Structure 1
Amino acid sequence: MNTLISIIIIFGLLVFIHELGHLIFAKRAGILCREFAIGFGPKLFSFKKDETVYTIRLLPLGGFVRMAGEDPEMIEIKPGYQIGLVFTPTGKVKDIVINNKSKYPNARVITVEKIDLEHQLYIQGYDEDNEFRTYYVDPKADYIYDEQRTQIAPHNRQFGSKTLSQRAIAIFAGPFMNFALAAVILMAFSLIQGMPVNKPIVGDVIPDGAAIEAGLQKGDLVVAIDGKPLETWDDLTSVIQKSPNQELTFMINRNGEVFSVAIVPDERIGVNEQKDGFIGVYPPTEFALFGSIMFGLTQTYEYIVLIIESLGMLITGQFTLDHLSGPVGIYNYTGQAAEMGILVLMQWAAILSVNLGIINLLPLPALDGGRLIFIGIEAVRGKPIDPQKEGIVHFVGFALLMLLMLVVTWNDINKFFL
């Protein structure tokens, strides 16, 4: 149950922040954002504020911001259609009633001859007295279809009408917000836990480890190991990790008293399946606001580099698909992190946030990186690619991503349950 709650909170936060980045910068560019959604599939909950409908959907597999102009408009009015018009006090059309016109007795019914709801914003047609009239439309007018309102999207409110830089920023803002969230989480982690200090001092000792059995205490300064002087925490861990099951002589300075103690590091499986030594001590920490800010930024950068290097190893064949984890693997690892406490869970959430940002920036169709590629191509060729062709590429890309997700999920099931 704790794992499920942790997953819901972490993924809800990561997706929310990602899509919030798209929403904020799209609105700043003047793009009409029809919907801000967390999840896919049927709506579970929704409300409308200003121009945007905010929804929570059934399948918690991501989210989206539906911007006007990215997809073909769902409502199209052609010459010969009969529609009802409701007007503002100044005489502009504020509602365009598509059907069920009898439920709007104040609507003026006309037969459309010509209509432009993108550029000049007018409707021409014959009213019930068979008189030909021109009606000008408010830029924020609504379609009403099956008693559901949908705001019209004039060209200057559509995604494609904005400059290349405005569109690129609106797309890049999602991954960027994931990086920013990771930095904030790690800053908070550092403020709670303390910022690691690179000195060979025992910050804390875990129960049942080799260090506590040898009598080490918090605050002990490790002067040397086997006669080799130590300057940093990295020096200390390097010697220990290289010496599993080997007796080492530690020279300790405790409040000015210097003495020696023998410790045999335990053995554990480290990165790359190597056998590392460990004695069960934590590095020293200090609490400083500026230091925590720098820790959050530098640690986020290190996570970004590590994940990019891992992707490079996947491309070069050093990693295989078996090394990837999908929803099942992430659920399992999140459960393990939750069992280790809130601080480990915070670090795991930061890693997931960075991972989500990087994955979305990959130059693949249907991802933010793929959309940025199309904007880059438009910048080079001086005109956009045909929207239908771009839509097909994104659709195929999305289908391939879903196929990859199924393969990775099957690997996870075999790895953890079979």
Structure 2
Amino acid sequence: MLTLVSAVFVFFIIILFHEFGHFIVAKAAGIKVNEFSIGMGPKLIQRKKGETKYSIRALPVGGYCSMEGEDQQSDDPRGFNNASTKARIAVILAGSIMNLILAIIVLSIVSYSLGVPTTSVSETIADSPAELAGIKSGDVIISINDVNINSWDDIINEIGSSNPEDAMKVKVLRDKETIDITLKPTVSEDNRVMIGIVPLNERSFKSAIVGGFKETIEMMQIMFNFIQMIFKGGVSARDLSGPVGIIYTIGEAAKYGFINLLYLMGFISVNLGVFNLLPVPALDGSRIIFILIEIIRGKPIDPEKEGYVHFVGFILLILLMITVTYFDINRFNIFGR
């Protein structure tokens, strides 16, 4: 039950943000929106304000934004198909942009909850090189091996790239006094160079927002690298996860608390935002490609031909999803649990 509730919550928020992005930009561009729905399936509540119907539906699995002339040609001058190319591109991009904004929001909440590690030392591990060399709680790391330190990531990078056989020079600030300390790092069982310090975590609105932005960018880089590996043939269907695998992972994350669930939500939202902009038929990215071709040609491609391309792409995506789901079921032993 926890897995089901958690998966519904995560997908509901992610898809709702995505569709709200399309909705708000379509409204701003003057495109007629016929309906904006929270949830799917049978209607529970519906109200009409102006030209748009706002509804809440029975199944809490996201929502949708229905625009005039989106899937079929419309004679309405305010239809999506009659909007300027810039407006259409903006509306399409808005969904993925909102996914990234959602990621920044939830990852900022995670950063605030956990705190952002600083260059100040909270404590030293007993009998570690840092404790034996005299580093104390409250010390601020200024430099390592003459390299200036500005963040906890700098500390990790400098320690990780150092030679454990060589002495390490650490400069700290203690009670407004600069102290030079020399120590010899140790190597952990998983082959990481360590000196044995624990950072002081800072909780502030500013640091949380910075942490949310930074984590989102890093997740985007991971996604871009993964996509690059796919095109290079370094990834097979066995390495991908479909709905079954994602739901399983959400359930596992939920077992470890709400913050872990939020972190995974941010990760999935980034993945959806980036993946949806790939130039693959049926995805938003391919719709943008068709609009760019329209700009170059000076006239739109035959809607029937474009629809056929998207239909073929949709079928291929469904086949991929079925294949990935099969591997997910075997990987996680779903029916054997």
* Structure-2 change in CA distance of 1:49 and 1:278 (3 Å): farther
Aligned to 1:387: 303
**2:89 paired residue among 168, 178, 183:** 168
Deviation (angstroms), 1:68: 1.3
Structure 1 residues 104-138: Cα deviation after superposition (integer angstroms, max 9, x where no partner): xxxxxxxxxxxxxxxxxxxxxxxxxxxxxxxxxxx
Does the Cα contact within 8 Å between 1:45 and 1:56 map onto a contact in 2?
yes
Aligned to 1:106: none
Structure 1 residues 238-292: Cα deviation after superposition (integer angstroms, max 9, x where no partner): 577689xx9x999998978999999966535xxxxxx657799753322333333
Structure 1 residues 350-406: Cα deviation after superposition (integer angstroms, max 9, x where no partner): 111111100110111111111111111111111111111111111111111111111
Aligned residues: 322
| Structure 2 counterpart of 1:68, one-letter code | E
1:364-403 alignment runs, 5 A limit: 364-403=280-319
**1:157 paired residue among 55, 60, 78:** 78
More helix by share: 2
Aligned to 1:84: none
Q: Distance in 1 between matches of 2:22 and 2:7?
A: 23
Q: Distance in 2 between matches of 1:297 and 1:219?
A: 27
Partner SS, residue 361 of structure 1: coil
Partner SS, residue 330 of structure 1: helix
Does the Cα contact within 8 Å between 2:168 and 2:182 map onto a contact in 1?
yes
Aligned to 1:88: none
Structure 1 residues 136-174: Cα deviation after superposition (integer angstroms, max 9, x where no partner): xxxxxxxxxxxxxxxxx7511311111111111111110
Q: Is the counterpart of residue 314 in structure 1 residue 313 in structure 2? A: no
* Structure-2 change in CA distance of 1:276 and 1:348 (3 Å): farther
* Structure-2 change in CA distance of 1:320 and 1:160 (3 Å): same
Does the Cα contact within 8 Å between 2:43 and 2:55 map onto a contact in 1?
no
Task: Work out which of the two has the higher radius of gyration on C-alpha atoms and give 1 or 2.
Answer: 1
Aligned to 1:28: 28
1:229-378 alignment runs, 5 A limit: 232=149, 233-234=152-153, 236-238=155-157, 266-268=188-190, 276=192, 283-378=199-294
Q: Distance in 1 between matches of 2:285 and 2:48?
A: 29
Q: Distance in 2 between matches of 1:238 and 1:283?
A: 14
* Structure-2 change in CA distance of 1:309 and 1:174 (3 Å): same
Task: Give the fraction of aligned pairs with identical amino acids, expressed as a percent.
Answer: 38
| Structure 2 counterpart of 1:23, one-letter code | F
Partner SS, residue 267 of structure 1: coil
CA RMSD, Structure 1 to Structure 2 (Å): 3.8
Q: Distance in 1 between matches of 2:293 and 2:97?
A: 22
The answer to which structure, 1 or 2, has the higher relative contact order (CA under 8 A, 6+ apart) is: 2
* Structure-2 change in CA distance of 1:45 and 1:408 (3 Å): farther
Q: Distance in 1 between matches of 2:53 and 2:284?
A: 21
1:117-266 alignment runs, 5 A limit: 155-197=76-118, 199=119, 201-203=120-122, 211=125, 219=138, 232=149, 233-234=152-153, 236-238=155-157, 266=188
Q: Distance in 2 between matches of 1:70 and 1:37?
A: 16
Does the Cα contact within 8 Å between 1:242 and 1:276 map onto a contact in 2?
no
Partner SS, residue 34 of structure 2: strand
| Structure 1 counterpart of 2:14, one-letter code | L
TM-score (normalised: structure 1): 0.64
* Structure-2 change in CA distance of 1:63 and 1:398 (3 Å): farther
Does the Cα contact within 8 Å between 2:185 and 2:194 map onto a contact in 1?
no
Partner SS, residue 77 of structure 2: helix
Q: Distance in 2 between matches of 1:190 and 1:180?
A: 15
* Structure-2 change in CA distance of 1:341 and 1:169 (3 Å): same
Deviation (angstroms), 1:223: 9.3
Partner SS, residue 70 of structure 1: coil
Does the Cα contact within 8 Å between 1:37 and 1:57 map onto a contact in 2?
no
* Structure-2 change in CA distance of 1:260 and 1:161 (3 Å): closer
* Structure-2 change in CA distance of 1:242 and 1:338 (3 Å): farther
| Structure 2 counterpart of 1:267, one-letter code | E
Q: Is the counterpart of residue 3 in structure 1 residue 3 in structure 2? A: yes
What are the ranges of 5 or more consecutive residues in structure 1 without an aligned counterpart? 74-152, 206-210, 269-274
Aligned to 1:91: none
Q: Is the counterpart of residue 411 in structure 1 residue 327 in structure 2? A: yes
More strand by share: 1
TM-score (normalised: structure 2): 0.78
Q: Is the counterpart of residue 47 in structure 1 residue 49 in structure 2? A: no
Which segment is superposed worse, 214-223 or 50-59? 214-223
Q: Distance in 2 between matches of 1:25 and 1:204?
A: 49
Does the Cα contact within 8 Å between 2:48 and 2:54 map onto a contact in 1?
yes
1:98-109 alignment runs, 5 A limit: none
